[in-house]
């Protein structure tokens, strides 16, 4: 791992679990096992580090949805959507800090860089919505979903399910997530499937 990658790894953890205000260059340096001056040789400010962590998420998200599209291309729409929800949950579970960072960035971006963060956040949201648009459009074309359904409407509803699942993973440790996901999906599919 390079010094820059090490800094970003520990910064992600601090931003996710301590918030932007709770993270500091000194804490990040200490956790990274380097000096503050070493951080400044890679990043000009805490805001610069935050944006670099966000850029990592954006790259990760773009690749995730590209891979999902390839992986699910041959599946029936119902199976593709069900697997998408379970894969989103699995990714949130495996990348807890990244999931928390993402939600905090959407809900409460740092004031100094709020406009830039909000602009950047639109990219992964659009990647996911483009993926879902592809799946729903293909489902209608293949006859898996009745043609009278509005694709943007379906995309927004499904996006809401994804948000619910990732937030639920963060805050609810008592509900059986697989049962919850299956129940949510079954009810969703019952409303749109043939």
* pLDDT value at 173 more than 80: no
* pLDDT value at 194 more than 80: no
Cβ neighbors of 9 (< 8 A, separation 6 or more) are 1, 32
**Higher model confidence: residue 152 or residue 92?**
152
CATH assignment of 47-192, among 3.60.21.10, 2.60.40.10, 3.40.50.10680, 1.10.357.10: 1.10.357.10
Q: Tell me the pTM.
A: 0.88
Task: Summarize pLDDT for 4-37 with one digit per residue, the tens.
Answer: 999 999 999 999 999 999 999 999 999 999 999 9
Cβ neighbors of 45 (< 8 A, separation 6 or more) are none
Cα(184)–Cα(62) distance, integer angstroms? 25
pLDDT bracket for residue 169 (50, 70, 90): low
Percent of the chain whose predicted confidence (pLDDT) is above 70: 98
Residue in the structure block whose two tokens are 């260059």 = 25
Task: Summarize pLDDT for 38-64 with one digit per residue, the tens.
Answer: 999 999 999 999 999 999 999 999 998
* 3-state secondary structure (DSSP) of residue 89: helix
**C-alpha distance from residue 110 to each of 9, 11, 101, 105, 144 (Å):** 19, 14, 12, 8, 43
Cβ neighbors of 119 (< 8 A, separation 6 or more) are none
Q: What is the DSSP letter of 43?
A: -
């Amino acid at each position: 791992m390079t010094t820059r990658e090490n800094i970003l790894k520990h910064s992600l953890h601090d931003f996710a679990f301590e918030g932007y205000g709770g993270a500091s260059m000194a804490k990040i340096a200490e956790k990274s096992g380097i000096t503050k001056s070493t951080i400044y040789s890679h990043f000009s400010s805490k805001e610069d580090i935050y944006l670099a962590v966000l850029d990592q998420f954006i790259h990760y998200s773009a690749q995730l949805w590209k891979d999902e599209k390839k992986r699910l291309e041959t599946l029936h729409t119902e199976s593709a959507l069900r697997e998408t929800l379970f894969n989103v949950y699995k990714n949130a579970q495996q990348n807890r800090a990244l999931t928390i960072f993402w939600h905090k960035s959407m809900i409460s971006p740092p004031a100094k860089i709020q406009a830039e963060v909000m602009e950047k956040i639109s990219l992964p949201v659009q990647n996911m919505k483009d993926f879902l648009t592809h799946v729903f459009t293909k489902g209608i074309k293949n006859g898996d979903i009745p043609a009278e359904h509005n694709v943007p409407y379906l995309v927004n509803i499904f996006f809401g399910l994804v948000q619910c699942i990732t937030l639920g993973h963060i805050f609810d440790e008592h509900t059986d997530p697989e049962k919850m996901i299956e129940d949510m999906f079954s009810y969703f599919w019952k409303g749109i499937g043939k």
